[in-house]
Amino acid sequence: MSFSATLPAARAPLGGRQAGNVVSQDRTLKIVTEMRSGAGSALSPFGQNAASTIRDSREREKKEMSDLNDRLASYIEKARWAKSTDLDALRSKWGKDTHNIRNMYEGELADAQKLIDETNKQRKDLETQIKKMQDELTELRRKYEEAVRGREADRSKIDELLVHLSNLEAEIALLKRRIAQLEDEVKRVKSENQRLLSELQRARTDVDQETLNRIDYQNQVQTLLEEIDFLRRVHDNEIRELQTLASRDTTPENREFFKNELASAIRDIREEYDQVRLPTGDSTPLY
């Protein structure tokens, strides 16, 4: 924002026709106010507050300059009216009135110029602050863009890690299912082993019992064989005695009797031997 004020060269007190010529030249005091404004986009809150302060200052200065212009316009109208009503009186009083008006407005114009200078100084300070804030904003934008890029890179890395984690969870679930299957298989094998051990134990018991039975049968067979051998010897002795008796008796009746007795005794011995031989399974004939 800039202000420029232009003021015609000071005129000495005028009188007579010379004063009239000056008035006819439409003496004016012109104040030109130029305002330029520019605001960067995307200011920070501090920058927005500074812009609002500048805008309020401009409005206030604009109002003050408007008041000055209105007062100058009023003065010009009064001067024109005085010219049209009493030109001669105005000529006689022009020098004094001009001096008084000049003194009055020169103070105000000096104050206005001082205000303009202060405003220009403030404007320069604000422009410096705005430039600094714009630089800060540029730096913040750069950091923000870097943060966004870093965030995107982090998000990409996070996505990769999530995919890897999902794969690991799937593998873990598969391994858990396999472990469960293996545990079931182990339980089944243990149960089968237990069953086989039970059957093996029963088989061992049966084998032991069969072994005991076999030993018992062998003992019984041995006893029976000894008994058979004893009976055989006894029967042999009885047969020999009967044969001896039969050979002593020479009568046919006695020989027939002893022969029948001998055959009956042999038959009885054979029957007893067969009964003893059946449990052992020995098929060897005695005679």
Q: Could you tell me the mean pLDDT of each successive run of 10 residues in the chain, 287 residues long?
A: 37 37 37 39 57 79 83 80 62 60 74 84 87 89 87 85 90 92 91 90 90 90 86 80 66 69 75 64 44
Its domain, for residue 241, covers 221-277
Q: Is residue 15 situated within a structural domain?
A: yes
Q: Which residues pair with 5 in a beta bridge?
A: 31
How many residues does this entry show for the chain?
A: 287
Residues 244 and 148 reside in one and the same domain: no
CB atoms within 10 A of CB 71: 14
Residues 33 and 151 reside in one and the same domain: yes
**For residues 234 and 214, what is the distance between their CA atoms, to the nearest angstrom?**
29
Q: Which of 103, 127, 157 is where one domain is finished? A: 157
Residues 124 and 231 reside in one and the same domain: no
Q: Which of 129, 157, 185 is where one domain is finished? A: 157
Number of domains in the chain: 2
pLDDT at 7: 37
Q: Is residue 170 situated within a structural domain?
A: no
Q: Which of 125, 157, 189 is where one domain is finished? A: 157
Query: What pTM was estimated for this model as a whole?
Result: 0.29
Residues 110 and 13 reside in one and the same domain: yes
Tokens of 89: 């009186």
pLDDT at 64: 84
Is residue 268 within 8 A of residue 238, CB to CB? The reply is no
**For residues 278 and 248, what is the distance between their CA atoms, to the nearest angstrom?**
38
Residues 152 and 10 reside in one and the same domain: yes
Kindly provide the b/e burial profile for residues 124-162, where b requires at least 16 CB atoms within 10 angstroms of the residue's own CB.
Answer: eebeeebeebbeebeeeeeeeeeeeeeeeeeeeeeeeee
